């Protein structure tokens, strides 16, 4: 969980500061070893299946905008289930829109944001939803640690993320990319890696 920590040897490194090969949207540029939000959302070339451990670091540039306008981005697990990224250091906004919120559903347990121009870490354990016969039989869930502080403890998603709307689960592909939100703010990212988590087989 250290900032600038090296990826484990079994991790899939998505961004190490040198190239955007793992990403689709080349309007996002590398500046001083960081990937900066460009035009429209970003997504990984690779699709991921099942549960994941994800590490990423982000850094908010100077901004005096308020509420959701201040350094807004987000990580969408399976391209659908958002973990909010927002500059909430001395910036008040609605609770389920804060940094580390399951956007529109569940506020974070605490606000662990650091000031602008500081590298911050997200360590995420993602549990993918399970569908059977056209219905969700196990909802998606996320555990989120921000700068070493627990914000979400295996919190279930009520539904795929929406803005000011209720929604329902609909079956989708078991493999999906990670998406990063463009909300018009030049948030910086670095040191992004993923581990596909193999579950042990249940005992007979």
In the bound complex, what is the minimum distance in angstroms from residue 161's beta carbon to Mg ion?
Answer: 9
Per DSSP, the three-state class of 150 is strand
**Would you count residue 108 as binding Mg ion (CB under 5 A)?**
no
In the bound complex, what is the minimum distance in angstroms from residue 62's beta carbon to Mg ion?
Answer: 19
Which own/partner pairs from 101-105 qualify as long-range (CB within 8 Å, at least 24 positions apart)? 102/142, 102/152, 102/155, 102/157, 102/161, 103/74, 103/161, 103/163, 104/161, 104/162, 104/163, 104/164, 105/157, 105/158, 105/159, 105/161
- Of 167, 113, 116, 118, residue with least CA distance to 140: 167
Q: Report the residue closest to Mg ion, judged by CB.
A: 74
In the bound complex, what is the minimum distance in angstroms from residue 42's beta carbon to Mg ion?
Answer: 13
In the bound complex, what is the minimum distance in angstroms from residue 50's beta carbon to Mg ion?
Answer: 25
Binding residues for Mg ion, rule CB under 5 A, total: 4
Considering the complex, state which of residue 70 and residue 190 has its C-beta at the smaller distance from Mg ion.
70
Instruction: Give the interface segment with Mg ion, choosing from 8-16, 76-84, 121-129, 196-204 (CB under 5 A).
Output: 76-84
Instruction: Give the interface segment with Mg ion, choosing from 49-57, 81-89, 107-115, 159-167 (CB under 5 A).
Output: 81-89
Instruction: Give the interface segment with Mg ion, choosing from 69-77, 123-131, 152-160, 171-179 (CB under 5 A).
Output: 69-77
CA distance 114 to 49: 32
Contact (Cβ atoms closer than 8 angstroms) between residue 1 and residue 121: yes
Q: Which of residues 173-192 bind Mg ion (CB under 5 A)?
A: 181
Considering the complex, state which of residue 44 and residue 181 has its C-beta at the smaller distance from Mg ion.
181
Structure tokens at 85: 């990224």
- One DSSP character per residue, 12-69 reads EEEE-SS--TTBS-TTSEEETTEEE--SS-EEBSS-EES-EEEEEEEEPPP----GGG
Considering the complex, state which of residue 21 and residue 116 has its C-beta at the smaller distance from Mg ion.
116
- Of 33, 107, 68, residue with least CA distance to 185: 68
In the bound complex, what is the minimum distance in angstroms from residue 74's beta carbon to Mg ion?
Answer: 3
Taking CB under 5 A as the criterion, the residue among 55, 74, 75, 145 binding Mg ion is 74
Considering the complex, state which of residue 148 and residue 184 has its C-beta at the smaller distance from Mg ion.
184
Considering the complex, state which of residue 84 and residue 106 has its C-beta at the smaller distance from Mg ion.
84
Catalog residues that contact Mg ion under the rule CB under 5 A: 72, 74, 84, 181
């Amino acid at each position: 969980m250290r900032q600038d920590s090296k990826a484990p040897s079994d991790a899939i490194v998505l961004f190490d500061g040198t190239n955007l090969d793992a990403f689709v949207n080349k309007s996002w540029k590398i500046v001083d070893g960081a990937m900066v939000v460009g035009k429209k959302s970003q997504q990984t070339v690779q699709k991921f299946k099942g549960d994941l451990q994800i590490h990423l670091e982000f850094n908010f540039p100077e901004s005096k905008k308020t509420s959701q306008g201040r350094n807004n981005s987000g990580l969408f697990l399976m391209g659908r289930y958002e973990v909010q990224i927002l500059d909430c250091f001395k910036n008040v906004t609605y609770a389920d829109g804060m940094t580390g919120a399951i956007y529109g559903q569940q506020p974070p347990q605490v606000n662990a944001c650091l000031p602008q121009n500081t590298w911050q870490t997200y360590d995420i354990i993602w549990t993918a939803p399970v569908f059977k016969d056209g219905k969700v039989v196990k909802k998606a869930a996320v555990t989120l640690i921000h700068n070493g502080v627990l914000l979400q403890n295996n919190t279930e998603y009520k539904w795929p993320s929406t803005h000011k709307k209720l929604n329902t689960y609909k079956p989708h592909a078991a493999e999906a990319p990670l998406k990063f939100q463009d909300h018009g703010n030049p948030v910086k990212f670095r040191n992004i890696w993923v581990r596909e988590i193999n579950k042990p087989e249940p005992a007979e």
